[in-house]
């Protein structure tokens, strides 16, 4: 099902994620924030899904949900400093 | 099947809403419930825009509504009328009895102004909906419809005799519409001691009001009931003595004699318990914390079970139960832990504030910590940290010390996942990151966190938002997926606290429940962490850490357990340090 979508290399993913967090300057980014940003950079909706999900699977970000009003939304979180060294239990 | 669940806005996100949804699910386990409360934030979904809600009603097959003591609030009435006009089945839900009754026409509809004034009166007088409805109905029948409802509500609000001053508090853990547990919420086979003299007087008064000659002629001739029923009531009421009577019998008696259930409470007919029971007790919410963590509530007539290895935690539990007037027994040695038991009525009170029966991962509790006073919230977090928390002290790669505090909770989401995914998954526990390769399934997982962990995280961030911005916290995330032998899928979520200033906050503001083994082990580790953090540990310091871990393992030493059992449960007097 996913074979039609583009595959990103580890370096590409790292770069995109780093750019994203540098742009927003905060450790939590909602999908409603990163999606328009990446769209503006020329990525398709499918590629954007691929970016956050692959970044999560490779342990670059924690992908989870948060409540915005009464609705849960996808958000990505980038551990930093002491948190980075502890890693994320989702990959252990 | 889609069910539109129409209910007053005042019930949204309250334990009463939780109970009402529980009842609808019990009657229609497969149905999708459309709850207007979830559409509050949607653009165009303001309650002033009724068309939006009409479209939701139109999309449903049936409508179930709840009211305020028999009075249908203005917004609910519009939705009910819409469903009736379309010929859809409409049911009235009584959350106190769990009954659904089909209705074909709507009565006792309140205007917007009347709705607001009833709500204001309830809050001002500290009465719940059935109590105020009973007062209003009495006044209405006295004036025989000659006085407007609004005037009646206003005169009741201004009469000091109706205000329950003893119920008014500065802060309240629960809203007025969920706050009181009435006798008829009890299961049918629960027995309570009733002053049959008072009951007899109430029946006599009712018979004369109905113009009946005697109880005999009323039962046998007017109601055309059996002689056995008459004989039974005669037996029940003889001697005017306090007598245990089953709730189902009392309800039938009230129905037969047209006595409103609430009248038994107004006449103080119960001698063993004062009904209604006020659920707005910090002790009840504190007890709930222990039960949410380590308790099991199986059914409404079974004792609550609590399992833990630490006798001190059983002692905390005992104190909470006794403060509430409940009965506690234990701790008894059980498989790998101690077990304590709490009476079923206390369990029913816990259920009334949002703790469901059955497996925790499948039946998520209703939790809202926002109304909790600081000390009750603090107790909840301390108890949770003690019962569910994990503290990890680790020498990092650069030989600096790090501490992680984690809380984990689980949720069963089997019914939300595609069947082919469930069947393709191997039994046992798997890492989420390595197992889930479909982004859509992952989205389903993150859209459904354990309600308790999510509420705890939100409250933690909210209570400390002045000192700590929300972005400083690491949000809860799913980390493990587990398939059981009965093909249920459980997702385990973690809330982790790693940053130094957050670890300090948790230790200094909360900590664990004092006197417990885990609190002692936490204290020793935290002191080491405090003294050595930020510097590279020497070999001697690493050895010192190993000694602490050896001396204060997470596994509680047997000798300590025996000593605490002896101190707390085999002698008189409260122990030091609790």
Last residue of a domain, one of B260, B275, B290: B275
Distances in whole angstroms, Cα of residue B187 to Cα of each of A27, B70, B129, B196, B366: 51, 22, 21, 20, 21
pLDDT in tens, B365-407: 988 898 899 999 999 999 999 999 999 999 998 999 999 999 9
Last residue of a domain, one of B82, B102, B122: B102
CB B396, CB B403: distance < 8 Å: no
Asked if B446's CB is within 8 angstroms of A65's CB, the reply is yes
How buried is B468 (Cβ within 10 angstroms: 0-12 exposed, 13-18 middle, 19+ buried)?
Answer: middle
Contacts of B396 in chain A (CB under 8 A): 85
Give which of B460, B450, B455, B443 is closest to B409, Cα–Cα: B450
In a domain, A37, yes or no: yes
Chain A with chain B: Cβ pairs closer than 8 A: 90
The verdict on B375 and B265 lying in the same domain is no
Distances in whole angstroms, Cα of residue B100 to Cα of each of B63, B65, B76, B95, B548: 11, 9, 16, 9, 60
pTM of the model: 0.92
CB B15, CB B366: distance < 8 Å: yes
In a domain, B406, yes or no: yes
Total domains in the fold of chain A: 1
Give the nearest partner residue to B41 out of A28, A71, A74, using CB atoms.
A71
The pLDDT of residue B131 is 95
Asked if A82's CB is within 8 angstroms of B402's CB, the reply is yes
Q: Is B462 on the interface with A (CB under 8 A)?
A: no
Q: Does the structure show a pLDDT above 50 at A1?
A: no
Range of the domain at A28: 10-85
The verdict on B403 and B528 lying in the same domain is yes
The verdict on B128 and B218 lying in the same domain is no
Last residue of a domain, one of B231, B256, B275: B275
The pLDDT of residue A3 is 44
Q: Does the structure show a pLDDT above 80 at B575?
A: no
The pLDDT of residue A2 is 43
In a domain, B441, yes or no: yes
Q: Does the structure show a pLDDT above 60 at B574?
A: no
The verdict on B417 and B313 lying in the same domain is yes
Positive or negative CA dihedral for B564, B566, B570, B575? negative
pLDDT in tens, B439-482: 999 999 999 999 999 999 999 999 999 999 999 999 999 999 99
C-beta neighbour count of B487 within 10 angstroms: 12
Range of the domain at B131: 112-180
3-state SS, residue B324: coil
Please report, for the domain that includes residue B21, its CATH number. 3.40.50.450
With vertex at residue B70, the alpha carbon angle to CA B69 and CA B76, rounded to the nearest 5 degrees, is: 105
**Torsional class of B330: left (φ above 0), alpha (ψ -120 to 50), beta (otherwise):** left
- Look up residue B99 and give its two tokens: 């009954």
The verdict on B294 and B176 lying in the same domain is no
Asked if B477's CB is within 8 angstroms of A62's CB, the reply is yes
Asked if A59's CB is within 8 angstroms of B480's CB, the reply is no
The pLDDT of residue B571 is 60
The verdict on B482 and B525 lying in the same domain is yes
In a domain, B540, yes or no: yes
Q: Using CB atoms and an 8 Å cut-off, which of residues 7-66 of chain A contact chain B?
A: 26-28, 49-50, 53, 56-57, 59, 62-66
pLDDT in tens, B18-61: 999 999 999 999 899 999 998 865 544 456 678 889 999 999 99
Give the model's confidence band at B188: pLDDT under 50 very low, under 70 low, under 90 confident, else very high.
very high
Total domains in the fold of chain B: 4
In a domain, A2, yes or no: no
C-beta neighbour count of B43 within 10 angstroms: 7
- Look up residue B510 and give its two tokens: 């909360």
The average confidence (pLDDT) of chain B is 93
Asked if B437's CB is within 8 angstroms of A89's CB, the reply is no
In a domain, B107, yes or no: no
In a domain, B382, yes or no: yes
pLDDT in tens, A44-88: 999 999 999 999 999 999 999 998 877 899 999 998 888 888 988
Asked if A82's CB is within 8 angstroms of B499's CB, the reply is yes
pLDDT in tens, A13-46: 999 999 999 999 999 999 999 999 999 999 999 9
Q: Does the structure show a pLDDT above 60 at B120?
A: yes
Q: Does the structure show a pLDDT above 50 at B173?
A: yes
The pLDDT of residue B335 is 87
The verdict on B210 and B346 lying in the same domain is no
């Amino acid at each position: 099902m996913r074979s039609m979508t583009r595959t990103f290399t580890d370096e590409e993913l790292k770069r995109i994620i780093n750019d994203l967090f540098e742009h927003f300057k905060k450790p939590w980014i909602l999908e409603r924030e990163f999606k328009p940003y990446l769209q503006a950079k020329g990525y398709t909706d499918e590629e954007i899904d691929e970016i956050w999900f692959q970044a999560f699977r490779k342990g670059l970000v924690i992908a989870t949900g948060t409540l915005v009003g009464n609705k849960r939304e996808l958000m990505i979180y980038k551990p930093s400093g002491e948190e980075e060294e502890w890693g994320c239990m989702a990959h252990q | 099947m889609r069910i539109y669940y129409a209910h007053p806005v005042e019930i949204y996100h309250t334990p009463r809403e939780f109970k009402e949804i529980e009842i609808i699910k019990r009657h229609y386990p497969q149905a999708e419930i459309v709850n207007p409360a979830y559409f509050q934030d949607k653009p165009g979904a303001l309650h002033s825009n009724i068309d939006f809600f009409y479209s939701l009603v139109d999309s449903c097959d049936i409508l179930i509504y709840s009211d305020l003591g028999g009075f249908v609030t203005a917004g609910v009435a519009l939705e009910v009328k819409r469903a009736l006009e379309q010929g859809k089945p409409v049911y009235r839900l009584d959350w106190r009895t769990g009954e659904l009754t089909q209705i074909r026409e709507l009565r006792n509809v309140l205007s917007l102004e009347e709705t607001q004034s009833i709500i204001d009166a309830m809050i001002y007088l500290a009465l719940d909906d059935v109590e105020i409805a009973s007062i209003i109905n009495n006044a209405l029948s006295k004036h025989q419809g000659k006085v407007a409802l609004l005037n009646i509500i206003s005169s009741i609000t201004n009469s000091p005799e109706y205000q329950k001053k003893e119920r008014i508090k500065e802060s309240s853990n629960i809203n007025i519409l969920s706050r009181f547990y009435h006798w008829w919420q009890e299961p049918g086979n629960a027995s309570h001691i009733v002053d049959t003299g008072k009951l007899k007087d109430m029946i006599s008064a009712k018979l004369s009001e109905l113009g009946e000659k005697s109880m005999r002629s009323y039962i046998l001739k007017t109601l055309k009931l059996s002689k056995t029923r008459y004989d039974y009531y005669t037996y029940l009421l003889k001697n005017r003595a306090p007598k245990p009577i089953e709730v189902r019998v009392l309800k039938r008696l009230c129905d037969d004699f047209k006595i409103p259930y609430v009248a038994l409470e107004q006449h103080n007919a119960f001698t063993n318990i004062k009904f209604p029971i006020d659920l707005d007790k910090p002790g009840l919410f504190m007890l709930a914390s222990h039960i949410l963590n380590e308790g099991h509530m199986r059914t409404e007539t079974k004792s609550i079970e609590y399992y833990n290895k630490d006798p001190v935690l059983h002692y905390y539990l005992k104190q909470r139960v006794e403060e509430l007037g409940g009965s506690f027994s234990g701790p008894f040695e059980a498989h790998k832990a101690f077990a304590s038991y709490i009476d079923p009525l206390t369990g029913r009170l816990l259920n009334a504030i949002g703790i469901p029966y059955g497996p925790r991962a499948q039946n998520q509790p209703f939790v809202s910590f926002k109304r909790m006073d600081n000390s009750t919230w603090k107790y909840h977090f301390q108890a949770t940290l003690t019962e569910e928390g994990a503290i990890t002290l680790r020498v990092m790669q650069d030989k600096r010390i790090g501490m992680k505090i984690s809380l984990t909770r689980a949720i069963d989401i089997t019914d939300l996942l595609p069947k082919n995914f469930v069947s393709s998954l191997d039994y046992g526990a798997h890492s989420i990151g390595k197992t889930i390769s479909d982004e859509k399934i992952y989205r389903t997982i993150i859209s459904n966190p354990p309600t308790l962990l999510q509420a705890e995280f939100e409250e933690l961030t909210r209570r400390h938002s002045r000192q700590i911005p929300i972005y400083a916290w690491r949000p809860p995330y799913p980390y493990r997926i587990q398939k059981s032998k009965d093909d249920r899928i459980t997702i385990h979520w973690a809330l982790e606290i790693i940053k130094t200033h957050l670890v300090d906050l948790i230790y200094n503001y909360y900590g664990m429940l004092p006197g417990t083994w885990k609190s002692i082990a936490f204290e020793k580790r935290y002191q080491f962490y405090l003294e050595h953090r930020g510097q590279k540990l020497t070999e001697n310091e690493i050895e010192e850490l190993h000694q602490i871990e050896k001396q204060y393992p997470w596994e509680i030493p047997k000798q300590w357990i025996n000593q605490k059992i002896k101190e707390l449960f085999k002698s008189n007097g409260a122990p030091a340090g609790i």
